[in-house]
Chains A and B, each alone.
Chain A
Amino acid sequence: MRLAGIFLILMPFFAEAKRPLQNLNPIDQYFESYWKAEKIKPARLTNDYEYLRRLTLDLGGRLPTPDEIRAFRANRDRDKRAKQIEQLIKEESTVQFWADQWLRILFQYRFSETDPIKVYFPSFVGWLKESFQNDLPYNQFVTQLIADRGDYKKKPATNYILKHLTPEEPPIELTSRMTRVFLGYQIQCAQCHDHPTEDWTQENFWGITAFFGGLQSKARATFEGGVSIKLFDRGAGEMLIPDTETKITPRFLDGRAPANLKKSGTDLARFFLEYENGQFARALVNRIWAHFMGRGFVEPLDRFGTDATPSHPELLNRLTELFVESGYSLHTLIRTFLPSKTYQLGCETKRQVADTTHARMLLKPQNPVQFLNTLSYTLQLDVFLKQNYENEYLKNPALPESYKNEEVFRMFLHLFTQGLLAPGGRAPEETEYAGSLRLALRLMNNQDLQGAMSVYYGQLKRIMQKQKPAERIEEIFLTLLSRPPSRVEEKRYLTFLRKKGNSPRAYEDVYWTLMNSTEFIFNH
């Protein structure tokens, strides 16, 4: 039965938009009747160029290359869209992208320069990569993050808790983050007072925090001259709510207490997974839906359990069931969402419909990880940053060994693009930027980035090997906008080039123009 379900999901029904098909995807089944009932006409289907760009950014975290675009376009296979998903999901860069995503989600989009002292990035990122690659069941993923104890290299999931441990106070951030990320609930207001409008009490907040009361990290020198850190549990116990006389013992939101205080992590993980009939699965489905569709059923992602009702509760439940039946498989969700017709709709705002109808794809900003990959590809930003920061981090003799690896370096790269995208601000969730003055100034004017747009470097150097102006224009378009120019555009740029005597500088102007264009910045 389950196999059959997955088989049906994978059926390639949208290779050609024109072909009338019986649509068996649960998402489409739902929306087709919803749109009909609401008398909404959905947007047209994307063409191949739009689809490939969107898919490669959403699933692979990067732009498609001109070669990929041409091959995809030329491919006559009716299943090519579904097959592209299968190909992408296996790629090394896709695995890296999802590890990056999880790192950002688990650390709540905030890194600190001191993180590599507490966290061993190679093992943690390595584990995140393996989890995606092997489609580690999500319930096990969560359990390991909450309950694993031991050496941070041998038990990589421990790095999550280690990141939040401080010698001074219990890791209160962990309480709010675990409930936000794993359950989609916000209980942190209850840290200081009973929540005014929701059900959370201070006891709820500190009851979870008390589970962490016995956690400690212990560093020791290794024979190889490095450091090893171990997470262990002295046993959770009684604690006082700060500034009050209230004593509190480990207690989950539903009042359950751990059976064995020294192994309370295992119980805590179980409480999370069992809470409200598998709320953790619903929260994950909502998160992944928001990632691909540009808006969660519940928005913001952590507003579950409030007065906010999901935009489509029935579909959310259906998808959650499917997720649970699949054995908490993230890949199954991806394979359900991405081939759906709903995912493949165009994103123009020509017809005014509410965002919640999903009768068009919502315009999405690139998140910092996607944007890092985009700039690394189009401007070789990674090379540039490495030249600039290598001595500061990777080769800095003053830093401990745990800093000198590619994963830590990548974290700094994330910080770099995050700073560009949301100037001086954090990106609370994935869709939180557009219109950064700092980014505009940098892309327009920065001397080093200008160098990267030159005909003597990187992409434009490659493109200039083409002979005809029209071929070069097309190649610039494919590289940056993942589509060929329209006829009007082609004419406009050819006229410009002719006026400039086809000088190399004029090509740099064209490259500059598309790099700074609004279309380039967005995922549409």
Chain B
Amino acid sequence: MICNDCSRRDFIRIALGGTAAAGLANRFWLPSADALPMAAKAKSVILLWLQGAPSQLDTFDPKPGSVTGGPTKAIDTAMGGVQFADSLPLLAKSADQFSLIRSLHSNDPNHDSARYLLHTGWRKNETVDHPHVGSLVSKELGVRKGGLPGCITFGGSNESGAGFLPYDYAPLIIEKVEKPLEDLVLPKGVTLKRLRERELLLRAQNKSFQKDHQEEMVDAQQKAYDRALEMIRSSHLKAFDISKEKDRLRRAYGETPFGKACLMARRLVGAGVRFVEVTLADWDTHEDNFTRTSELCNQLDPAMSTLIEDLESRGMLDDTIVLCMGEFGRTPRINPNAGRDHFSRAFFAALAGGGIQPGRVVGKTNETGTEITERPVSVADLYSTLYKQLGIDPEKKYKSKSDRPIQILEGGKPIHELL
């Protein structure tokens, strides 16, 4: 059932020939098929997660010359009249391909709970366990059969998982980018033939226990093994293999774990994965903010700009959203350790693809970056935009584990400037 809608849509797409027709087809199907997202423009998401909370003032909202600006210099960009920090030269050049929100805000300056907020659209509380946005997107849009899971995260945070959704929607966490297939490929000495023998023994072993214990947990366990075996044998695993890519492209992404994971993310989306999260960690710059932020930018800049271009050149950007953000921002005040501390009153998110209008800036902060002066955007607004582009109805209700009805998203309005 979970894959019906995606295959049907793919079919329509092929039948009508190309992306332009897809919108039409969706509209055509709307009255009868509520599984078909209405006017969905995007069908997958790549989240570039800047773990630790990046300094907006030393990346996408620099304040050169002001008391809070620090030594960071600004450069002009292809986003008319907008400047970035000079450690983002490639993104500056390709800034007409994405848009920027400079007025994102929350009142949560704690890493754990803010990570939860930015990954679920919900403030963390101990009553309801909300799913990771990637799990939710997989559930809503469907997971392609016979292949990879709907949501894959590289170095994902442990704040949110499948939440109240069935366990099969939990993100598959890839711990080491250098060894992405660690538990996905057969260990030494185990061939496909031996795996088959083991599988037969295992199925025989499980039979009587399953007969005696007909309950959900036991089924879930069996399903996990079915999925695992399917994945081990899946031809889509080669999506993790970037050695087939051209050297020039690999170098353009950057030969860093982050760059490599971004390239894998593009391949995985191509293989039908709905949501890929790639983490770039260590933005928590309480000390030595300027050097560290600019070093991190050296990884972010080539990877993100190349990813957007790569998707664009393959015609994938139309239905893939690239979203880049962290938990919150950092204080305009520079502390005695040349660091910046936690600041959730104004921070940024960058978005590209999936029908998001490129080259736009939403919101503004004052000269010193201490306040939002124009168009504050809440996390719920951001999520509402995301769901709109994916054709997900934010008012759809699920049941929590304790049987409480829960809406996909509460509050928030799509950011019309970006649509």
Question: Of A112, A299, A439, A489, which is within 8 A of B205 by CB?
Answer: A489
One digit per residue, 1 when the CB lies within 8 angstroms of any chain B CB and 0 when it does not, for chain A 501-524 equals: 000010001101110111101101
- Which residues of chain A have C-beta atoms less than 8 A from B158's C-beta? 419, 424-426
Q: How many residues does chain A have at the interface if contact means C-beta atoms less than 8 Å apart?
A: 61
- Which residues of chain A have C-beta atoms less than 8 A from B194's C-beta? 509
Pair A435/B212 contact, Cβ less than 8 Å: no
One digit per residue, 1 when the CB lies within 8 angstroms of any chain A CB and 0 when it does not, for chain B 233-275 equals: 0000000000000000000000000000000000000000000
Pair A514/B187 contact, Cβ less than 8 Å: no
One digit per residue, 1 when the CB lies within 8 angstroms of any chain A CB and 0 when it does not, for chain B 135-164 equals: 000000000000001000100111111110
Q: Contacting chain A: which of B40-48, B92-100, B222-230?
A: B222-230
One digit per residue, 1 when the CB lies within 8 angstroms of any chain B CB and 0 when it does not, for chain A 418-436 equals: 0100111110100011111
- Which residues of chain A have C-beta atoms less than 8 A from B156's C-beta? 424
One digit per residue, 1 when the CB lies within 8 angstroms of any chain A CB and 0 when it does not, for chain B 334-362 equals: 00000000000000000000000000000
**B248 nearest CB across to chain A (Å):** 33
Question: Of A303, A424, A496, A519, which is within 8 A of B201 by CB?
Answer: A496
Q: Contacting chain A: which of B16-24, B165-173, B388-396?
A: B165-173
Pair A437/B217 contact, Cβ less than 8 Å: no
Pair B129/A428 contact, Cβ less than 8 Å: yes
**Is A228 interfacial (CB-CB < 8 Å)?**
no
Pair B168/A180 contact, Cβ less than 8 Å: no
Pair B127/A442 contact, Cβ less than 8 Å: no
- Once A425-B161, A425-B163, A447-B187 are accepted as A-B contacts, the answer to whether A437 and B126 lie under 8 Å apart by CB is no
**Is B220 interfacial (CB-CB < 8 Å)?**
yes
Pair B187/A445 contact, Cβ less than 8 Å: yes
One digit per residue, 1 when the CB lies within 8 angstroms of any chain B CB and 0 when it does not, for chain A 478-512 equals: 00000000100100110010000000010001101
- Which residues of chain A have C-beta atoms less than 8 A from B402's C-beta? 299-300, 303
- Once A445-B186, A446-B187, A509-B197 are accepted as A-B contacts, the answer to whether A437 and B163 lie under 8 Å apart by CB is no
**Is B1 interfacial (CB-CB < 8 Å)?**
no
Distance of A450 Cα from B198 Cα, bound (Å) = 13
Closest to A516 in B: B202
Pair A441/B206 contact, Cβ less than 8 Å: no
Distance of A432 Cα from B110 Cα, bound (Å) = 26
Pair A517/B206 contact, Cβ less than 8 Å: yes
Q: Contacting chain A: which of B31-39, B177-185, B299-307, B374-382?
A: B177-185
Distance of A524 Cα from B132 Cα, bound (Å) = 31
Q: Contacting chain B: which of A10-18, A347-355, A460-468?
A: A347-355
Of A299, A447, A496, most buried by chain B (CB within 10 Å of CB) is: A447
Pair A424/B182 contact, Cβ less than 8 Å: no
Pair B205/A428 contact, Cβ less than 8 Å: no
Pair B171/A424 contact, Cβ less than 8 Å: yes
- Once A435-B168, A445-B183 are accepted as A-B contacts, the answer to whether A424 and B160 lie under 8 Å apart by CB is yes
One digit per residue, 1 when the CB lies within 8 angstroms of any chain A CB and 0 when it does not, for chain B 98-137 equals: 0000000000011010000000000001110100100000
Closest to B170 in A: A423
Please tell me the size bucket of the interface on B. 35 or more
- Once A363-B218, A424-B156, A428-B126 are accepted as A-B contacts, the answer to whether A441 and B231 lie under 8 Å apart by CB is yes
- Which residues of chain B have C-beta atoms less than 8 A from A340's C-beta? none
Pair B401/A518 contact, Cβ less than 8 Å: no
One digit per residue, 1 when the CB lies within 8 angstroms of any chain A CB and 0 when it does not, for chain B 181-214 equals: 0111111111000100110011011101110111
- Once A435-B168, A438-B173 are accepted as A-B contacts, the answer to whether A424 and B217 lie under 8 Å apart by CB is no
**Is B417 interfacial (CB-CB < 8 Å)?**
no
**Is B281 interfacial (CB-CB < 8 Å)?**
no
Pair A513/B205 contact, Cβ less than 8 Å: yes
Known: A445-B185, A513-B205. 15 other contacts (CB 8 A): A176-B126, A188-B127, A349-B212, A349-B213, A349-B215, A363-B215, A424-B173, A428-B129, A432-B401, A437-B172, A437-B228, A496-B201, A509-B201, A513-B202, A518-B218
Which B residues lie at the A interface, using CB under 8 A? 109-110, 112, 125-127, 129, 132, 149, 153, 156-163, 167-168, 170-173, 182-190, 194, 197-198, 201-202, 204-206, 208-210, 212-225, 227-229, 231-232, 401-402
The 7 closest A-B pairs by CB, nearest first: A425-B161, A435-B220, A424-B161, A434-B217, A441-B183, A440-B228, A435-B224
Q: List 27 A-B contacts (CB under 8 A).
A: A188-B125, A348-B212, A423-B161, A424-B158, A425-B129, A425-B161, A425-B162, A435-B168, A435-B219, A436-B224, A437-B149, A437-B227, A438-B170, A438-B172, A440-B225, A440-B228, A441-B232, A446-B183, A450-B190, A486-B208, A489-B205, A492-B201, A493-B201, A509-B194, A509-B201, A516-B225, A522-B221
